[in-house]
Chains A and B, each alone.
Chain A
């Protein structure tokens, strides 16, 4: 028998990495200031290994590459990978292909946190530990925490009445919906009372990779690295969870513990990404789903491939966002949805007809 268990293929990784490198190169060389293309690439290597290359660019050009374009590209890679792997994790944990990283209220919580910071003039979303970022991060995590507590309380009641374990995931999702509605209500109220800040808030809500040098990257990098490293090998557990809580338990999995761990890590990762880039829609939903349709339905494939594809996709989306209406910028959330949705439909059609 030559059947093999589902696993990621080397050719996919090679192809995926090539896609990401291509996206990076494109995003670096295209910009409002025309700069010699090979010079940009050489300068990027020089930024990674200072002093090793001479790009022949002027100081100003060097600065544009090293402090504007490069950090923005790296942030795009990080946010794209984070949202995608979180989305894959949420879809697996909740056995719901329509789940996304914002399922348990991260978006609403982050939105409320950011709105509070804006309307009380606590920051502008840029720089070191700007309070907008801090509030967004805290808001996002508290929303998830609330949803978790409420969901568990509800499902404990159900289990006591003889209901099965399946209900706990459903309770959690419903609690997430409730928390999100509640937080959104408060946020709308604040927005309504402070219309002068509405534009700022709105821009933040639509998401963007506007950077102030390397600050955002440095804030996100450590937490993203740790969380992604922890989630990468979780695909097999998500495959076990796919048979439902009851059967997963009987297969030897401590379902609630695994679910808690995965939700905490994915939420932490999402909250961090949201804090530095706002609410970028759609990525966490369609990237894992696209990967599933193209490469296979095992989470041992979906989780790692989502990281690669998500990183490249968001980098390309950001390129479109900042060049389509140059010199003004489109919110990246608009781009991801505008290009992502039709692309997703194409993928869906070909997968169905296969």
Chain B
């Protein structure tokens, strides 16, 4: 790079901006080479937008801004607008103004105040609309466009100003991932021939680093760091100025910044916890032994000191929680949490659900990133139409089967599945086959009363929750938070 050798397109010298006693910007200086893209980053309140506004002249800052050696501050608005175009973060969109009229506003600096736009202005405007693939929107009112289209229209207006410098304030903050990429790639192409220089503020550090040639990190109104992304976007810089704990990876030249989230998976787990996950020996041949429902003894190996050598490591397990007591599903959701803590992909399929129960575990499960499927949405405990319910049950099982065979989860909980089998709504055979032939890494938990023998046969661990006493029997209704 020969930035030092050629005249900078934009030269910012000692910019300061004060409001009463507060200093928003304090002695900012940097140069930008022609055709360069520089991204201004920094935590909230660092002064990013203020800096951009000061460069543009929208805020009256002290200091000097030069465009190709010409001081900007002393120029009339008209002459300034021929050199610097500004794309505001939240543009004011006049109601009813068409896209072509809006982009035409960019020609303002070239028109006498009382003059109408010339044919050439209109032609320029149309060229720019084409360049940004906006022709088909030309007649539409700007306010009816989507966020991504609207942002392109505002950029088009800036291009109509035909300036060497384009300033963009958070050009992608209101856009989804696809539109962010689209807008940034277009901007990148616009400067390809070196005629346009871009200065943008950016929230997303990864995007800022990826598209910009250099990154300027502002902190408390001063330049904390400026240079190529790899030099500025360091763990210590981000920790110091953002107060954030991040991990930084270099993916084929792009610096990727991701927040480090303290999850239980990074906790040190006690020794016996790991042992617990090694299945006890008698489980491995449960096909032959567990003919009785009392195989729930396997749920208590914690207190034992298993002989490690007699055990093998299973890639996955099938667990069945059955019995007439309370706690079958609740215990399955406990396993769901353990799985999440292990960074597993966890899915829950609920086959029976009463329509008016607002179930809390789903909300939390979804928050934890659990893949949640309500196959019981169509029928309920109180349902009357049996054929209808059967069809829904079959469809629900088919979905669950597809989910299992897809192999994208390490743990799938099939909540209340036993009822579908016991009531004859779905054929039992295919269920057992699916569980037996599941992808090797997929563990399955099935809950529900009266687990059929076939299910117990294909399971590794079967627990029976026995009712000793239930509040409902004494006339107490189900309690939110405990029962659902």
A residues at B contact (CB < 8 Å)? 1, 3-7, 161-162, 164, 233-234, 236-237, 239-240, 242-244, 246-255, 258, 292, 296-298, 300
CB-contacts of B49-89 with A (<8 A): 56-58, 76-82, 84-86, 88
Q: Are B97 and A297 interface neighbours, CB within 8 A?
A: yes
Cα(A240)–Cα(B112), bound, Å: 13
Q: Does B122 contact A (CB under 8 A)?
A: yes
- 5 sampled A-B residue pairs with Cβ under 8 A: A1-B130, A247-B88, A247-B91, A249-B77, A252-B81
The 3 closest A-B pairs by CB, nearest first: A252-B81, A297-B96, A252-B109
Q: How large is the interface on B (under 10, 10 to 19, 20 to 34, 35 or more residues)?
A: 35 or more
Contacting B135 at CB < 8 Å: which of A1, A4, A255? A1
Nearest to A3 among chain B residues (CB) is B138
Which secondary structure dominates chain A's binding surface?
loop
Contacting B114 at CB < 8 Å: which of A162, A234, A240? A234
Which among A161, A234, A247 has the highest number of chain B CB atoms within 10 Å?
A247
Q: Are B129 and A1 interface neighbours, CB within 8 A?
A: yes
Q: Does B111 contact A (CB under 8 A)?
A: yes
Which among A1, A244, A255 has the highest number of chain B CB atoms within 10 Å?
A1
Q: Are A298 and B161 interface neighbours, CB within 8 A?
A: no
CB-contacts of B89-123 with A (<8 A): 91-101, 104-106, 108-109, 111, 113-117, 122
Return B56 CB to nearest CB of chain A, in Å. Answer: 6
Contacting B111 at CB < 8 Å: which of A164, A236, A246, A247? A236
Chain B neighbourhood of A252, CB < 8 A: 77-82, 108-109, 161
Chain B neighbourhood of A249, CB < 8 A: 57-58, 77
Return B90 CB to nearest CB of chain A, in Å. Answer: 10
Q: Are B116 and A250 interface neighbours, CB within 8 A?
A: no
Asked if A236 meets B117 with Cβ closer than 8 Å, knowing A247-B91, A251-B106, the reply is yes
Which among A252, A254, A255, A292 has the highest number of chain B CB atoms within 10 Å?
A252
Contacting A5 at CB < 8 Å: which of B20, B108, B122? B122
Chain B neighbourhood of A248, CB < 8 A: 108
Cα(A243)–Cα(B122), bound, Å: 19
Return A68 CB to nearest CB of chain B, in Å. Answer: 39
Cα(A249)–Cα(B79), bound, Å: 11
Nearest to B160 among chain A residues (CB) is A251
Nearest to B88 among chain A residues (CB) is A247
Q: Are A250 and B106 interface neighbours, CB within 8 A?
A: no
Q: Are A239 and B105 interface neighbours, CB within 8 A?
A: yes
Q: Are A251 and B108 interface neighbours, CB within 8 A?
A: yes
Return B134 CB to nearest CB of chain A, in Å. Answer: 9
Chain A neighbourhood of B57, CB < 8 A: 249-250
Cα(A162)–Cα(B96), bound, Å: 31
Q: Are A3 and B98 interface neighbours, CB within 8 A?
A: yes
Q: Does B126 contact A (CB under 8 A)?
A: yes
Cα(A292)–Cα(B95), bound, Å: 11
Asked if A253 meets B77 with Cβ closer than 8 Å, knowing A239-B94, A244-B92, the reply is yes
Contacting B19 at CB < 8 Å: which of A5, A162, A234, A296? A162
Contacting B92 at CB < 8 Å: which of A7, A247, A296? A247
Asked if A161 meets B109 with Cβ closer than 8 Å, knowing A1-B126, A234-B114, A253-B77, the reply is no
Asked if A297 meets B20 with Cβ closer than 8 Å, knowing A234-B114, A250-B58, the reply is no
Q: Does B312 contact A (CB under 8 A)?
A: no
Chain A neighbourhood of B95, CB < 8 A: 297
Cα(A111)–Cα(B98), bound, Å: 41
Q: Does B139 contact A (CB under 8 A)?
A: yes
Chain B neighbourhood of A250, CB < 8 A: 56-58, 77, 80-81, 84-86
Q: Are B96 and A246 interface neighbours, CB within 8 A?
A: no
Q: Are A242 and B94 interface neighbours, CB within 8 A?
A: yes
B residues at A contact (CB < 8 Å)? 19-20, 56-58, 76-82, 84-86, 88, 91-101, 104-106, 108-109, 111, 113-117, 122, 125-126, 129-130, 135, 138-139, 157, 161
Cα(A114)–Cα(B361), bound, Å: 76
Return B97 CB to nearest CB of chain A, in Å. Answer: 6
Asked if A251 meets B105 with Cβ closer than 8 Å, knowing A5-B117, A236-B116, the reply is yes
Cα(A244)–Cα(B135), bound, Å: 26
Q: Are B92 and A254 interface neighbours, CB within 8 A?
A: no
Q: Are A243 and B116 interface neighbours, CB within 8 A?
A: no
Return A346 CB to nearest CB of chain B, in Å. Answer: 19
Chain B neighbourhood of A239, CB < 8 A: 94, 97, 101, 105
Q: Are A298 and B139 interface neighbours, CB within 8 A?
A: no
Return A136 CB to nearest CB of chain B, in Å. Answer: 30
Contacting B109 at CB < 8 Å: which of A233, A234, A251, A300? A251
Asked if A4 meets B113 with Cβ closer than 8 Å, knowing A161-B19, A252-B80, the reply is no
Chain A neighbourhood of B92, CB < 8 A: 242-244, 247
Cα(A234)–Cα(B114), bound, Å: 6
Nearest to A292 among chain B residues (CB) is B96
Q: Are A1 and B138 interface neighbours, CB within 8 A?
A: yes
Chain B neighbourhood of A4, CB < 8 A: 100, 122
Q: Are B116 and A300 interface neighbours, CB within 8 A?
A: yes
Other contacts beyond A234-B113, A250-B84: 12, CB < 8 A: A3-B98, A6-B101, A164-B58, A237-B114, A243-B91, A246-B58, A252-B78, A252-B161, A253-B108, A254-B76, A258-B113, A296-B96
Cα(A244)–Cα(B95), bound, Å: 12
Chain B neighbourhood of A236, CB < 8 A: 111, 115-117
Chain B neighbourhood of A164, CB < 8 A: 58
Chain B neighbourhood of A237, CB < 8 A: 113-114
Chain B neighbourhood of A242, CB < 8 A: 92, 94, 97
Return B69 CB to nearest CB of chain A, in Å. Answer: 21
Return B213 CB to nearest CB of chain A, in Å. Answer: 24
Asked if A251 meets B94 with Cβ closer than 8 Å, knowing A1-B129, A3-B100, A239-B105, the reply is no
Cα(A42)–Cα(B100), bound, Å: 48
Cα(A120)–Cα(B199), bound, Å: 66
Cα(A263)–Cα(B48), bound, Å: 36
Chain A neighbourhood of B125, CB < 8 A: 5
Q: Are B77 and A254 interface neighbours, CB within 8 A?
A: yes
Chain B neighbourhood of A251, CB < 8 A: 81, 105-106, 108-109, 157, 161
